[in-house]
Amino acid sequence: MTLLVIVAAWTDNAVLAADIALIQGAIMAVFLSISANARNLVLGETLENAAIRLQKLRIYSVAPATVLSWLLLIFVDVAVWLVACLLLRKVIEWLLEVPLAAHEKSNQLTFGLTYIVVNGLALLLLLLSVGIRPDWFKVLLAVWALLPAIFLFADNVSKWRAPFIPIGLQDFSPYFAGTVVVGATNYLFRVVLVFMAGKVLAGNLIAGFAVGAIVASLYTYALGPALIYHKQNQLDRVLGYQLCASLFIGVSLLVLTFINVLPQSHMIWAIGFSVIGAGLMVLAQHSRMCLIQLHKLPTVQRDVAFGVLLVGIVMPLMNILMPSLLVTLFFVSGLLSWIIYRCIPPHSAY
């Protein structure tokens, strides 16, 4: 969805970009809230029979979660067909997250690699349609939304029911608390930004932030848990290299924009700052995942601190003191998360 936001904004569809971002925020507020960092828990063997217990919980909760996501968007001015397609996509891939992690843990990588390739090709066609063939966008969006269902049914959902294994909701409650806060923060970030800046400007800003967000999300939800699980050597060095690369690319973009080589638009400024912020965000999320996956610790206190400071204090102050600073929001959030998750040792928060 994040790539859709970027492409929509780059093809002068700022309103569509803002609509997708708002829908994505509402969906994440619900589904991320009840994800309980599932992939980290499955790969890290944090709880006994975590995969089966988490998937059972997801099967039972998918219907109310879908309804709640829809209700969050009732009062938002977005197209119903767009909500339906993006929500359907999220529902199916959310049900697939635990099976994919279970396959990875069992070193059955063919299933996951096939999923990545097929969905990547479908997404590429969808992105091309935004700028080249807008009349195909709705059809391709529907196809992209339904595509993960093939893998869901191929995995045989019924095998996850396992009636003899109780869910044990109390074991997951600390992790649910953390993801509830993260989901709410993501949703409120978008809503507050649209309220402060308006749909068009917010759409351009969110598209700029999305460039850095893709890097951070790719590490947080795809590469990070796997690298930590497989205990890759020299991981700290790799993280250092990515930070240096982010700083170099981000600063270069800002300098080129400042000297008018690149257009001085809100989106370009936001991209430059978001790339720098992504380097800090990756370090922060790595530390967060290590707390969950290796140290077996929930992160709810840090998650609350980050959400309150960013949405409750930093964003309103920026808007009041100097609205032009909103282009730096992703960088500021990256810096804030780096301080909260990486600089504060575990014993200081627990």
pLDDT tens digit sequence for 154-189: 766 555 555 555 555 566 666 667 778 888 888 888
Tell me what pLDDT residue 328 has: 92
Compute the distance between CA of residue 294 and CA of residue 231 in angstroms, rounded to an integer: 10
Structure tokens at 134: 């807008």
Please provide the distance, in angstroms rounded to a whole number, between the alpha carbons at the two ends of the chain. 35
Using a 10 angstrom Cβ sphere, with 0-12 exposed, 13-18 middle and 19 or more buried, the burial of residue 317 is exposed
Tens of each residue's pLDDT in the chain, 350 residues: 778 877 887 787 878 888 888 888 888 878 877 776 777 777 766 556 777 778 888 888 889 989 988 888 877 778 888 999 999 999 998 888 888 888 777 777 788 888 889 988 998 898 888 877 888 888 999 999 999 888 888 766 555 555 555 555 566 666 667 778 888 888 888 888 888 888 788 888 888 888 888 888 888 777 777 777 766 656 777 788 888 999 999 999 999 999 988 888 888 999 999 999 999 999 998 888 888 777 777 788 898 999 999 998 999 898 888 888 889 999 999 999 999 988 877 654 44
Helix axes 169-197, 199-218, angle to 10 degrees: 140
Give a three-class secondary structure readout of 183-214.
HHHHHHHHHHHHHHHCHHHHHHHHHHHHHHHH
Tell me what pLDDT residue 277 has: 93
> Which of 4, 1, 3, 6 lies closest to 270, judged by CA?
6
Tens of pLDDT, residue by residue over 28-87, are: 878 877 776 777 777 766 556 777 778 888 888 889 989 988 888 877 778 888 999 999
Does residue 309 contact residue 60 with C-beta atoms inside 8 Å?
A: no
Q: Please state the pTM of the whole predicted model.
A: 0.73
